[in-house]
Amino acid sequence: MSFGMTIGRSNMKNYRKAQKKVEVSVGESVRVIRELQELSQNELSDLTGIPQSTISAIENDRVRLGVERSKVFARALKCHPAVLVFPAWDISQESSA
């Protein structure tokens, strides 16, 4: 028994591909990556030496992340600092310039 609906190739021209675009602030990018790694703010504080209150302020865009903190967070979160600092960077748009 099949619950899915199939669309033939001839019918596909009536549909357009969904666009995936979400605007994320620097603070939100820190929070999302932290949560994906199932870390609390306190645990991230322990890993980075940055006070939990500062992490909260960064995640709520009340305090700027800055270059040095981005490096510290990147090491703790095992990601490239650019992922944190430039969450809305559109490489396809930049490469065509």
- The enclosing domain of 67 has a CATH number of 1.10.260.40
Is 95 domain-assigned?
Answer: no
Q: pLDDT value at position 38?
A: 96
| Residue among 18, 92, 28 nearest 59 (CA) | 28
Q: Is the pLDDT of residue 78 over 90?
A: yes
Q: pLDDT value at position 97?
A: 53
- Domain that residue 60 falls in: 26-88
Is 12 domain-assigned?
Answer: no
| Residue among 85, 96, 93, 91 nearest 24 (CA) | 85
Question: What does pLDDT average to over the chain?
Answer: 84
Is 93 domain-assigned?
Answer: no
Is 19 domain-assigned?
Answer: no
Total count of domains within the chain: 1
Is 16 domain-assigned?
Answer: no
